[in-house]
Structures are given as structure tokens and as C-alpha cells.
Amino acid sequence: MANEHRDVIVVGGGIIGCLTAYFLARRGLKIALLEADAVGSHASGFAFGEMGVLEGAGIPDPLLEFSLWSMSRHHTLSMELKDVSGVDNQFQFGGRLKLAFNESEAASYQKQLEWQREVKDLDVTWLEPREVVEVEPQANPACLGGVYVQRAGAVEPYRLNLAAAQSAEKLGTEILSRRVTGLLTEGGRCLGVTFHEGQREGQREGRQVGRMEAGAVVLAMGPWSQEAAAWCGIDIPVTPLKGQILRLRETSKPILTSLHYGGSYVVTKPDGLTWAGTTEEEVGFNEDVTPEARDKIMGDLLKMAPALASAELVQQTACLRPLSADGLPIVGRVPGWQNLYIGTGAGRKGILWSTGMSQGLAELILDGSSQVPGLEALNPARFQRD
């Protein structure tokens, strides 16, 4: 295997790596995807799965168009991946309600509505408290109103990651359990990677060290992207931002319109469980669940939907978002390298942005430019000092 040639090696089996592999394989390239743990075993498999196109980093400028394109691409991709892999990622358009509980929140949301209303196809309106509970009976009637998006996309993240991985495999991609440890290089060209067999931590003794060659390499290492800075000699300003989610069994009514407040959220998913999040914790590469996060999320949940006080906690998960220094994803060719690419740093929106980031990367590799709108704002060269 060591000398067998591939067109592209993708490092990382989260959603960015798997979708990039799929888009490249669909165009006939021979791909190897190397994953240190398991496909979808980190943030991409344990995210909430909503598509908040109207708020957060980069919205509206410079990423509104990119975000809208990414959401609409999820719609078509969901069917495409189901055809190829048989895995249904449960993409759907649904309602999303951002609640206000004081006058200053209501005023600031209504100010944002001035441009949000103009965004085509999302049907964004302001709802008074009475209308809020008509739309979502579980919402707290003590709210002062909310911003209602009628057509917000949502997906089941693990199924999306799995559908992308299995579709890539069906098109000939090899998915291998390998921890990449460095690059094989010659001047400004990347010739391939070096790797250890198997898992990330704790099993270094006696492991096989290998090398694999390819025409190009894509780094899609999520919050671990900074490890690659030493390999390619450029700064990759990405750090882990931990987030936790609770899955609850609720015996009364499901929450069909997702509720949002202050960075937290809740909705009942197609698996029948009600998912509530989240936290933003700067604690390095620690993926443990904590009672403090559970209590914080329950507090936010009860503010949004007080009737859920009796819901039974079924599962608590924690994972790490890859957060870039300016909050925007990092997508494109690595400065100073002819054939080394990177896709990372999507923070709280890597599921939404995965289509734009991955299709953009595939087009850059194959065509030298991309049709995905707004991709140029994500160029890794923006962090280079003169």
C-alpha cells in the first residue's frame, strides 16, 4: 500500500473531510481519507444540526450569500447522498424561533429584522407573545416575542457525516484508521503524509509508522488543525471551543419549532428525543461531559420551555468546535504550497457551512477556482503577515 498512488489524501473524517472526499470522488479522483479515531466521532457527529443562516460570525457580511448557498445545497445534497449511500440524513426545512425576554433584546432583534426580512425564501417575521405560543405551544408565554424563521434547514449531523463517508466509499474512496503525523515534502510541493496506525492518544508504543503518497493533500482536522502548523510552517489559528448537548425524553408534546435564546436552543428531533444545548467552554482538548454544563443547559431550557421541567435526561454529549481567530472558516490552498489545502475553523456552523466549504475545496483542487459564492473571504492567506 505504501507505494500505491492516490490523487488526493484527505486528513480527517469529520464532515469537512468526508464531504470533500465525496465531491472529489464524484469527479473521478482516487481518494484516501485518513481518520485518527472514527468517522463522525467528534463535533460533526454530535452537533445540534441546525442551520442558523441569519446570525453569528460573518453574518450578514461577508458570509450571508455563502450561508444561504450552503443551506440550499444541503437540500439537494441530502437526496444525492441518499441515492448513493442509502443513508437518509433527515434534512428538513422547519420553523425556528429566537425568543426575547427583555426590552433591549426585543429592540435589537427587531433592528436586525430590517435586513433579515429581505432575505428571500426564509419567510422571517416578528411574532408577538400570543403568536409565539400559537406557533410553538411549549414556548414560554412570558417572552416578549420572537424572530420567526419559517424555513430554516436542519439535519441529523451523524447521519450526514455517515452518508458523506459511505457515499465517498461507494465512489472508491478508501477510509483508513490512521493518525497523520506529518507531510512528505519537496520544496513547495507536498508529496503525501506520514502516519501512525490507529488512535490519537495513549497507544503510541509499538505502532506502525507509514507513509502514503498523493498528488494533493487536504487538511480537514477540525480543532486539531493547529497540529499541522508545524508540518507546513504557517500559522493555523484554530482553537477548540467545547460545547455540550442534552438529549431528553419528554412525555408531553414534542417541540416542533426550535426555540433559541442567548446561544442556547431546544427542539425535538426525528429520533423522538428533545435535544437541548449548549455551552461555550475554553478548556483545551477536553471532551468530558460535566454536571455544570448539564445545569446551565437545563436552566436555559426551562427559560425557553418551562414545561420541560419533568423531562428525563437520556444522554449528555460533549465535543469541540474548531474556532478560528476571526470566527470565519479557513478554506483554500495553504499559502506557499502548490498542492496542500485546508478546510477548518467553522466554529458553531460547520454543519451548515460544510457544503460550501467542501464543494469549494473540491472545485479549487480540480478547477483552480470555485463557483461557490463568498468562498474568497475564507482564503487562509488572510492570516499571513507580509
Ligand X SMILES: Cc1cc2nc3c(=O)[nH]c(=O)nc-3n(C[C@H](O)[C@H](O)[C@H](O)COP(=O)(O)OP(=O)(O)OC[C@H]3O[C@@H](n4cnc5c(N)ncnc54)[C@H](O)[C@@H]3O)c2cc1C
Min CB(205)–ligand X separation in Å: 18
Cell digits of residue 379: 482564503
Residue nearer to ligand X on the CB measure, 125 or 316 = 316
Q: Does 156 bind ligand X (CB under 6 A)?
A: no
Stretch that binds ligand X, among 29-37, 88-96, 131-139, 362-370 (CB under 6 A): 29-37
> DSSP for 153-202?
EE--HHHHHHHHHHHHHHTT-EEEEEEEEEEEEETTEEEEEEEEES-SSS
Report if residue 255 touches ligand X, rule: CB under 6 A: no
Q: Which residue's CB is nearer to ligand X, number 133 or number 191?
A: 191
Residues numbered 307-346 forming contacts with ligand X, rule: CB under 6 A: 319, 321-322, 344, 346
Binders of ligand X: how many residues, by CB under 6 A? Answer: 42
List the beta strands (DSSP E) in the chain: 6-11, 31-35, 92-100, 124-127, 145-154, 174-186, 189-197, 209-219, 238-249, 258-261, 264-268, 274-277, 312-324, 330-333, 340-344
* Alpha-carbon distances of 354 from 59, 98, 197, 280, 343, rounded to whole Å: 16, 23, 27, 20, 9
Q: List the x/- string, 271-310, binding to ligand X by CB under 6 A.
A: ------xx--------------------------------
Total length of the chain: 386
| Contact mark string toward ligand X, 71..110, x via CB under 6 A | ----------------------------------------
- Alpha-carbon distance 311 to 305, whole Å? 11
Asked if residue 318 lies in contact with residue 287, where contact means CB atoms within 8 angstroms, the answer is yes
Nearer to ligand X, 124 or 357 (CB): 357
> 3-class secondary structure for 314-325?
EEEEEEEEEEEC
Tell whether residue 17 is a contact of ligand X (CB under 6 A).
yes
Q: Which of 35, 55, 156, 281 binds ligand X (CB under 6 A)?
A: 35
Q: Residue 364: how many CA atoms within 13 Å on its side-chain side?
A: 26
Residue 16 interacts with ligand X (CB under 6 A)?
yes
Answer yes or no whether residue 11 interacts with ligand X by CB under 6 A: yes
- Nearest one of 84, 8, 74 to 357, comparing CA atoms: 74
Question: Is 6 or 106 the residue whose CB approaches ligand X more closely?
Answer: 6
Q: Which of 372, 358, 323 is nearest to 22 (CA)?
A: 358
41 in contact with ligand X (CB under 6 A)? yes
Give the C-alpha separation, 169 to 154, whole Å. 24
Q: Which stretch binds ligand X (CB under 6 A): 72-80, 205-213, 218-226, 291-299?
A: 218-226
Residue 171 contacts ligand X per CB under 6 A: no
Among 14, 95, 145, 360, binds ligand X (CB under 6 A): 14
Nearest to 56 by CA among 343, 260, 327: 327
Of 43-51, 183-191, 284-292, 304-312, the segment contacting ligand X by CB under 6 A is 43-51
Judged by CB under 6 A, the stretch of 74-82, 89-97, 204-212, 350-358 that binds ligand X is: 350-358
Q: Write down the residue that cell numbers 419549532 correspond to.
A: 257
Binding residues for ligand X, rule: CB under 6 A, are 11-17, 34-37, 41-44, 47-50, 179-180, 220-224, 227, 243, 245, 277-278, 319, 321-322, 344, 346-352
